[in-house]
Amino acid sequence: MPVAKIAPSLLSGDFANLASECQRMLDLGADYLHMDVMDGHFVPNLTIGAPVIQSLRRHTDAFLDCHLMVSDPERWVEDFAKAGASLYMFHYEATENHLSLIHKIHELGMKAGISLKPKTPVDVLLPLAKHLDMVLIMTVEPGFGGQKFMVDCLPKVSTLRKAFPDLDIEVDGGVDLTNIDQATAAGANVIVAGTSIFKAESPRKVIEIFRQSVNANLA
C-alpha cells in the first residue's frame, strides 16, 4: 500500500528565506517539498523556475516535488532535470504528447507525474497511470494559493485508487484540517498544503494530523 507523504507547498513560505523555509518544513516532519512552478500563461500567476530549484538543490537533498503549471511542458524537462528536480509533474491539459513526455522525464532520471484540473475527467488518465509515479488531482483551480477545497473532485481520487491500488495519488488545493479526512478516505496518500501548514499555530501538529489521517484511511 502507498505510504503517507506530506508535502508543504513552499508557495506559502517566505521566498526571501526559501532554503531555511524548506529546512524548517523538513524539521517539522515534511516528507516532500512541493514547488509550484507557474508561467503566467497556463495559469495567471508567475512564480519560480529551474534556477530557483537549482539554487535550493545546493542546500537540501530533500525530495523536490515540482508541479509545472506551464504551457509547453516539454520545453522545461531538461532544465529541471539539470536543476535537481526529483519529480516533474506536468498538466494533462498542457500537452498532447503525454506518453513521450513521461518517457523523457524518466530518461532524465526524474519521477513523472500528471496533474488534472478540476474540470478534466479522470478517465483520460486511465491509459497513462501505469506509466506514472504519481497523479495529482487538483482540488482548486491551479494558479493561486488560499482557494476553497472542491470536494466534488474527490471521486477522481476514488476512481484512481480503485484502479491503481499502489499509485501515489496527490491532492492539492485548499486542504486543511476540516477536509483532510475526506481526501484521505477517497484514497489520497500524498497531501499538499500551503496556507493550512504555514499559517498554523503548530505546523508540526497539522503535518502529524495529515499523516495520521492517511494512515487511518489507507490501512
Closest listed residue to residue 69, CA positions, set 5, 108, 11: 11
The answer on whether 115 is annotated among ligand-binding residues is: no
Catalytic residue of the set 36, 65, 168, 176: 36
172 catalytic residue (yes or no): yes
> Is 172 known as a binding-site position?
yes
Known binding residue 194? Answer is yes
- Is 144 annotated in some ligand binding site? yes
Check the annotation: does 145 bind a ligand. yes
CB 157 within 8 A of CB 188: yes
Cα–Cα dist 132/147, whole Å: 27
Tell me how far apart the alpha carbons of residues 79 and 83 are, in angstroms, rounded to a whole number.
6
Complete DSSP assignment for 29-51: T-SEEEEEEEBSSSSS-B---HH
Q: Any binding-site annotation on 195?
A: yes
Question: Among the options 39, 65, 168, 172, which is catalytic?
Answer: 172
Residue 174 counted as an annotated binding residue: yes
Q: Any idea which residues carry the catalytic annotation?
A: 36, 172
| Residues of each annotated binding site for a divalent metal cation | 34, 36, 67, 172
| Residues of each annotated binding site | 9, 34, 36, 67, 143-146, 172, 174, 194-195
| Residues of each annotated binding site for substrate | 9, 67, 143-146, 174, 194-195
